[in-house]
Structure 1
Amino acid sequence: MDWYPDADESTLVRTPIRFATGYAHPVLGSRWFRDTDRRDIQAELPGWPAGPAYTLHSKATQKVDRVGGGLLGGIVTAARVAVEAVTGGNAVQVGGASRSKPQDPANESEDFPVMWAATGTVARTVPWQLDPGRSPEHTRVDAVVTERRFLLLGIGPDLTASATVLWETPRDTVAGAEQLAFSEGGHDVRVTFTDGSWVRLSTGAADKFAGVLAERRKLLPESELTAGQRERLARFVGELPATAQPPKLFRLASGIVLAEAQVPAKVGKGLFETHSILMGETGEAARPQPGDL
């Protein structure tokens, strides 16, 4: 599943990703693809296979959902988390809600668009493989952000095969990325493009993915570290397993420095654990400030 950036760029973040799924009861388990008049545009997206049709849940259905969600829903979620942690499967690991009320009712409880796109906009070009209702079993999509590009990679059931670039766009077409509080586990991110279109995605690394894409994390060369930070970085590297990748350095919005290193996980090929430290000006341990993550 290896994919490598060009010689003049580096991978700033890579994470499994998919279209988000409705969390409020009226839209539970649903997702829609809309233009700016709220028309359904699934049939207009070139090359997309047919997908499931959704309707808003009635109040009676919502009552059943509440009862089922308390026991059966919890069992299903727990089982899904356990399976995905091992397999790196199509669905993204989820947890409890971060907020009890929708922050954007029009798009989170009255409707749940995961694509908002006028004709000819960037959001309409993202691949159908992001949709859990369309993608084949035992496959997934990884999002990759480099200094120059935002890419989506297709990962098939054969983890020894190379990843396929499904889609990419220059970083300057991205206007912003925001982690959305009202979502299962706080895993949803809205990526907005400069033409006003957007997609709502879900990833277990929502804070990191949104932070890098929105440039709240600035890639930092080691030469710009202070003497104390270089000394702390050397100790951090010395404590890492031998299989660790070289660390990446980021200056966060508050000015503190984040060092991150990826270590291959034992649970499956192509999966990684992240080891990190936060450093102040002299290399001392630091706490993230509002807006950093």
Structure 2
Amino acid sequence: MDWYPNSDEQLLLRTSARFATGMAPAVSGARWFRDLERGDVQGELTGWPPGPTYQLRSAGDKAARRTGRALLVGIPLVANLIANLGGASGTPLGDVPGRGKPDEPENEVHDFPVMWAAPGSLARTVPWQLDPGRRPEDCVTDLVLTDRRLLFLATRKGSLAKADILGEFARDAVAEVRRMKFSEVNADVRVTFTDGSWVRLSVGNPDNAERLGQVLGGAVRMLAESELSEGQFDRVARFRADLPKTAHPPTYSRLRSGVTLVESRIPVKAGSGLFETHSILMDDSGQPAEPAPGDL
């Protein structure tokens, strides 16, 4: 693995992350960085290299874009399925859902800010490498949540070198993570900081989007390995023995019903930044278990 938490720190979740991309016809393929008056602030962000600029699409552009998206929409769906291959029998990962309806037309249909930030606010300090239009082609960015911090990491495609920490925030600086369902493959989240600023990110697949909100909202309790029972520890040892050497250390979560979910991410060769998620569900004794309604 290319990054480990501190010895006194618990890893809760790691997922791919990048600034989201507009989907409605007028904003398709675009993203903007806004202040509270909807001014474009990307030229004000310290240390950011120049990036692409976007314009709202005209009616003619919208019609052409709708036709094009009918052909292209399957591409990220296939990528998402590849990213979740290999789940064990009983895996909670479900089918890829369809796109939702806009919750905020002003931010999803008529405009598409991926940063909403007054001068000096926390959102303005997120790393520029989260922007697919700015970062090098071989750069892959991840979001990591621990019991103490929210971090952003960068790795290079095909590299085994240690990940670079691009930025980090204290856990208590994050006020909310909200799932934004009007997005390709339902994988967008809004991370809101305690000063009211926010960023909109795509985190790869709907399971990660849901889990991030559950963990930060307290609906799911993450467990340390030391909290597992003897039977659970034995079951996890067998689970890990079946994983390849490239697997990330598993994470453990206690679902609403009391069932324990164990998950491990494994990089796949099908594409950069894509992962298989292997998972098992077990009861307190380590025996296989089924999720209850509302667990996932």
| Range into which the TM-score falls when normalised by the shorter chain | 0.7 to 0.9
Counterparts in 2 of 1:106-117, with a 5 A limit?
A: 106-117=106-117
For residues 1-293 of structure 1, the aligned pairs below 5 Å read 2-71=2-71, 73-74=72-73, 77=75, 81=79, 98-157=98-157, 159-204=159-204, 205-221=208-224, 224=227, 236=239, 240-241=242-243, 243=245, 247-263=250-266, 265=268, 272-280=275-283, 283=287, 285-290=289-294, 292-293=295-296
Q: What is the TM-score of this pair, normalised by structure 1?
A: 0.82
Render the CA deviation track for 1:210-269: whole Å, top value 9, x for unaligned: 33344433222456556775676566556x336456543211244332122345646589
Range 266-275 or range 181-190, more displaced: 266-275
Moved more, 40-49 or 9-18: 9-18
Distance in 1 between the 2:237 and 2:231 partners? 10
Q: Is 1:145–1:212's contact at 8 Å kept on the other side of the alignment?
A: no
Instruction: Tell me whether 24-33 or 138-147 shows the greater mean CA deviation.
Output: 138-147
C-alpha distance in 1 between matches for 2:244 and 2:115: 42
Greater mean deviation of Cα atoms: 45-54 or 19-28: 45-54
Q: Which runs of no fewer than 5 residues in structure 2 stay unpaired?
A: 84-94
C-alpha distance in 2 between matches for 1:231 and 1:158: 33
- CA offsets per residue over residues 34-78 of structure 1, 9 Å max, x none? 11221111111111111111111111111111122223x357x36
**Identity of paired residues, percent?**
51
Superposed CA RMSD in Å reads 3.1
Match of residue 92 from structure 1? none
Q: Is the 8 A contact 2:101 2:181 kept in 1?
A: no
Following the alignment from structure 2 to structure 1, what is the Cα–Cα distance between the partners of residues 26 and 112? 9
SS in 2 for 1:62: helix
- C-alpha displacement of 1:279: 3.5
Residues 158-185 of structure 1 show CA distances to partners (whole Å, capped at 9, x for unaligned) of 6132211110011110111122111000
Q: Tell me, what secondary structure is at the counterpart of 1:169?
A: strand
Q: Any conservation in 1 of the 2:11–2:145 contact (CA below 8 Å)?
A: yes
Tell me what 2:87 maps to: none
Q: How many residues align?
A: 279
Letter of the structure 1 residue corresponding to residue 210 of structure 2: D
CA distance in 1, matches of 2:5, 2:234: 29
Which deviations, in whole Å up to 9, do the C-alpha atoms of 1:264-288 show, x marking residues without a partner? 6465899753222234566452225
Q: Is the 8 A contact 1:17 1:141 kept in 2?
A: yes
Cα distance change on mapping 1:268 and 1:167 into 2, 3 Å: same
Flag the 1:270–1:7 CA change in 2: closer, same or farther, 3 A.
farther
- Per mean C-alpha deviation after superposition, the further-off stretch among 31-40 and 18-27 is 31-40
Residue 88 (structure 1) aligns with: none
Q: Deviations over 1:175-207 (max 9, x none)?
A: 111221110000101111111111000011322
Deviation for aligned residue 1:10: 3.0
1:119 offset after TM fit, Å? Answer: 1.5
How far apart are the structure 1 equivalents of 2:113 and 2:267? 35
1:160–1:224 CA distance, 2 compared to 1 (3 A): closer
1-side partners of 2:239 and 2:282: how far apart? Answer: 11
Q: What SS class does the counterpart of residue 185 from structure 1 fall into?
A: helix
Scaled by the length of structure 2, the TM-score of the pair is 0.81
**Cα contact 1:97–1:182 (8 A) shared by 2:** no
Q: Distance in 2 between matches of 1:26 and 1:97?
A: 23
Contact 2:251 2:262 (C-alpha < 8 Å) held by counterparts: yes
User: What secondary structure sits across from 1:168 in the alignment?
Assistant: strand
